[in-house]
Structure 1
Amino acid sequence: MNPLHLESLLAIVDEGSFEAAAHSLGVTPSAVSQRIKALEKDTGRVLVRRTSPATATDAGEILVQAARRMRLLQAETDARLQGRLGRVPLSVAVNADSLATWFTPVFADVATFGEATLRLRIEDETRTLSLLRRGDVLGAVTRESRPVSGCETVGLGRVRYRAVATPELAERYPGPDWSRMPTLRWGPSDELQARDLEERLAGNQQRPRMSDIPSTEALVSATLVGMGWGLMSELQADPFLRRGDLVLLDDRVVSVALYWQRWRLESELLERLTDSVLAAARVLPAV
């Protein structure tokens, strides 16, 4: 199987189109198209969905995973042979709450990895595993403890979430009245908040007005100005609770266990990245 063809397939998946892949590879879109047609002929399978953005088929995902492994190993081999690190891509899926809190020390560590690059994919922790399974990332912060094929898992710790709001909002909707108090969430894919709200409503058919704020930092800001109540990790909420800017709405704790899943691959950089993630997660209570 021609490595150039695999590299072209990976570029299409990463960049989202044949044209963008051609630009990143320094060739013409026609050349990329010919490589993919040749690869599809060799495998006897359609490998790319010609959609916008372009995505890999089930067969294509298998080759994308192989291509990503080859790229990492090739980059590290070049680094050893040349006595320097090339642009080694470390692709990681992480949920937004982790990225905004305990995960940030990883940046300082990656800054010492020579010229290695970090590519983050932001997803809900219930969905990051699908990126790992497809081969889109080398590692993922996930809720799933059972490793996917070809991967290994280690526990990171627990993130504890509390329902918080401004004192004024809590006073306006005593009880709290979950069916009327305006609610904040990350978005429609915020499964944690959706499940928690259903449990709080306890069968009440009336639904509060809901605002979607697809940014952890913005969600905190919206909570602080009284736009609604939200589930906030204790790591984020504690400073505001101590100052009295926010109050706890009840004693309920939503505890989420997080795990680090990574490819079972002999890679010095992937080992260093794993060590960095585990070190950063020491601030979390144990799983």
Structure 2
Amino acid sequence: MIDIHPEQARTLAAIVAHGSFEAAARHLLVTASAVSQRVRALEVAVGRPVLKRTRPVELTASGHAVVRFARQLDMLSADLAEELQPGARPASVRLTLVINSDSLHTWALPGLASVAGKVQLEILREDQDYSLELLRSGAAAAAITTTAKAAPGCSSRRLGVMRYLPVCTPDFAARWFSGGATADTLAVAPVIVYDRKDDLQDRYLRGVSRKTLQPPRHFVPAAHEFGEAIRWGMGWGLLPEIEVSDELKRRTMVSLDPAARVDVPLHWQQWRHGSAALEEVAAAVLAAARLLR
């Protein structure tokens, strides 16, 4: 059985959080030599390296597991403090979550607001196709992801399906799609893309044409501004159905093809050995996700 001392695990977590042995030492109020000794003792206990001594340092797979353990231990310690001293938890529990921009912009934030008085939240914004890496690394306690299979040490629960519709303004449609949204017209009509990780628009284009289409692209990496770029007529793009349904009814926005959609399944993954605070946050997110399909 591997015996990991909490002090050593928390030291590794501090190195990762602050970027170096020296910065971790300042945070922990110990010498850099003491930090090095703790890491060496930890690697002896684990039986393998826990980090690569680069700048900034990089964790090994074993190091990720140890950091996750350290952060879970902190959450459990906060639970114990709450049990022993009721009312203490709001000032002590901190949770880091990974949530994609569209979920934050449309449905997730009201759920998180319901627990904001009980926990301190740090929300990392990352595309749902890439968020799982932050969970695996121990950087976050939970994440919204497209992956249903639970990551090591985590549990997975289905949230629902986020449906995206290809939309634009009526004026843009009249200018570029008077004959319909075909492969030929979509190849030349400007499109709005969130960032270079964003594959939604290309998923739609692949459904329209077997050949790769490369229309002019505007990159707008913020959920609100992405929608505003479409509303200003800069291009077409895919927006969540729950965001644009009223605009489609009012005809201030039109669909390129009423039958077209891109469905993105969403899952909530969190550390299996979490805390009462993490479970409260999970319950709030799952309740808010009832707006999804």
Q: Give the TM-score band, short-chain normalised.
A: 0.7 to 0.9
Q: Name the CA distance, whole Å, in 1 between partners of 2:163 and 2:141.
A: 26
In structure 2, relative to structure 1, the CA distance for the partners of 1:179 and 1:275 (3 Å cut) is same
Q: Within 5 Å, which residues of 2 pair with 1:59-78?
A: 59-78=62-81
Name the structure 2 match of 1:225. 232
> Percent sequence identity over matched residues?
39
Q: Name the CA distance, whole Å, in 2 between partners of 1:23 and 1:117.
A: 24
**In the TM superposition, what is the alpha-carbon distance from 1:22 to its structure 2 partner?**
4.1
In structure 2, relative to structure 1, the CA distance for the partners of 1:240 and 1:39 (3 Å cut) is same
**In the TM superposition, what is the alpha-carbon distance from 1:121 to its structure 2 partner?**
1.9
In structure 2, relative to structure 1, the CA distance for the partners of 1:214 and 1:55 (3 Å cut) is farther
In structure 2, relative to structure 1, the CA distance for the partners of 1:211 and 1:50 (3 Å cut) is farther
Quick check: 1:101–1:236 contact (8 Å CA) kept in 2? yes
Please say which of residues 42-51 and 73-82 is displaced more in the overlay. Answer: 42-51
**In the TM superposition, what is the alpha-carbon distance from 1:26 to its structure 2 partner?**
4.3
Alignment match of 1:117 (pick from 97, 116, 120): 120
Alignment match of 2:157 (pick from 154, 157, 178): 154
Q: Name the CA distance, whole Å, in 2 between partners of 1:275 and 1:214.
A: 29
Q: Name the CA distance, whole Å, in 2 between partners of 1:259 and 1:191.
A: 18
Quick check: 1:162–1:234 contact (8 Å CA) kept in 2? yes
- The number of residue pairs the alignment matches comes to 282
In structure 2, relative to structure 1, the CA distance for the partners of 1:278 and 1:9 (3 Å cut) is same
Name the structure 2 match of 1:93. 98
Q: Name the CA distance, whole Å, in 2 between partners of 1:53 and 1:282.
A: 41
**In the TM superposition, what is the alpha-carbon distance from 1:30 to its structure 2 partner?**
5.2
Quick check: 1:16–1:55 contact (8 Å CA) kept in 2? no
**In the TM superposition, what is the alpha-carbon distance from 1:90 to its structure 2 partner?**
1.5
In structure 2, relative to structure 1, the CA distance for the partners of 1:179 and 1:18 (3 Å cut) is farther
Q: Within 5 Å, which residues of 2 pair with 1:1-287?
A: 1-27=4-30, 29=32, 31-83=34-86, 84-85=88-89, 86-113=91-118, 116-174=119-177, 175-176=180-181, 177-204=185-212, 207-251=214-258, 252-265=260-273, 267-285=275-293
Q: Which runs of 5+ in 2 are unaligned?
A: none
Deviations 1:3-32 (A, max 9, x none): 222112112323444455445434455544
Quick check: 1:183–1:211 contact (8 Å CA) kept in 2? yes
Q: Give the secondary structure class of the aligned counterpart of 1:125.
A: coil
**In the TM superposition, what is the alpha-carbon distance from 1:277 to its structure 2 partner?**
0.7
**In the TM superposition, what is the alpha-carbon distance from 1:203 to its structure 2 partner?**
0.7
Deviations 1:18-47 (A, max 9, x none): 455445434455544443344334434332
In structure 2, relative to structure 1, the CA distance for the partners of 1:265 and 1:209 (3 Å cut) is same
In structure 2, relative to structure 1, the CA distance for the partners of 1:172 and 1:279 (3 Å cut) is same
- Alignment root-mean-square deviation, CA: 2.3
Q: Name the CA distance, whole Å, in 2 between partners of 1:121 and 1:8.
A: 23
**In the TM superposition, what is the alpha-carbon distance from 1:236 to its structure 2 partner?**
1.7
Please say which of residues 235-244 and 168-177 is displaced more in the overlay. Answer: 235-244
Please say which of residues 127-136 and 23-32 is displaced more in the overlay. Answer: 23-32
**In the TM superposition, what is the alpha-carbon distance from 1:91 to its structure 2 partner?**
1.8
In structure 2, relative to structure 1, the CA distance for the partners of 1:218 and 1:82 (3 Å cut) is same
Q: Name the CA distance, whole Å, in 2 between partners of 1:201 and 1:120.
A: 37
Q: Name the CA distance, whole Å, in 1 between partners of 2:55 and 2:228.
A: 34
Q: Name the CA distance, whole Å, in 2 between partners of 1:58 and 1:77.
A: 29
Q: Give the secondary structure class of the aligned counterpart of 2:92.
A: coil
Q: Name the CA distance, whole Å, in 2 between partners of 1:19 and 1:266.
A: 30
**In the TM superposition, what is the alpha-carbon distance from 1:157 to its structure 2 partner?**
1.5
Q: Name the CA distance, whole Å, in 1 between partners of 2:110 and 2:55.
A: 35
Q: Name the CA distance, whole Å, in 1 between partners of 2:232 and 2:22.
A: 44
Q: Give the secondary structure class of the aligned counterpart of 1:189.
A: coil
Quick check: 1:93–1:123 contact (8 Å CA) kept in 2? yes
Q: Which runs of 5+ in 1 are unaligned?
A: none
